[in-house]
Amino acid sequence: MSEQYSPSEHLTEDLVLELAEQQSGHRSASADSTTPAARHLQQCDSCYAWVSDTARVISALRPATSDDDLVEETADLADPPPGLWAVIAAETAQTRTETQQPPAPVTDLATRRGSRRTWLWVGGAAAAGLAVGAALATAVLGQPKIPGEPEPLLAGEAQLAPVSQADFTGEAEMFRHADGQLTLTVQVAEVPAPEDGYLELWLRDEQASRLISLGTVTTTSTTVTVPQGMDLSEYPVVDVSHEHYDGDPSHSGVTLAAGPMEPADS
Buried b (16+ CB within 10 A) or exposed e, 84-106: eeeeeeeeeeeeeeeeeeeeeee
pLDDT of residue 240: 97
Which class for 55: exposed (0-12), middle (13-18), buried (19 or more C-beta within 10 A)?
buried
pLDDT of residue 139: 40
pLDDT tens per residue, range 157-203: 999 999 999 999 999 999 999 999 999 999 999 999 989 999 999 99
How far apart are alpha carbons 192 and 241 in whole angstroms? 11
Arithmetic mean of pLDDT over the chain: 75
CB-CB contact of 226 with 184 (8 Å): yes
CB-CB contact of 188 with 168 (8 Å): yes
Bridging pattern class, strands 262-263 and 170-176: unpaired
What distances in angstroms separate CA 31 from CA 42, 51, 106, 170, one per listed residue? 10, 14, 54, 117
Residues (pLDDT < 50) of the chain are 1-2, 26-31, 70-71, 73-75, 106-107, 109-113, 115-122, 125-126, 130, 132-133, 135-143
How far apart are alpha carbons 160 and 155 in whole angstroms? 17
What distances in angstroms separate CA 214 from CA 68, 74, 129, 227, 260, one per listed residue? 104, 99, 37, 8, 16
Q: Is the dihedral of CA 70, 74, 77, 79 positive or negative?
A: negative
In order of their start, the domains of the chain are: 13-99 (no CATH), 153-263 (2.60.40)
pTM: 0.46
pLDDT of residue 61: 76
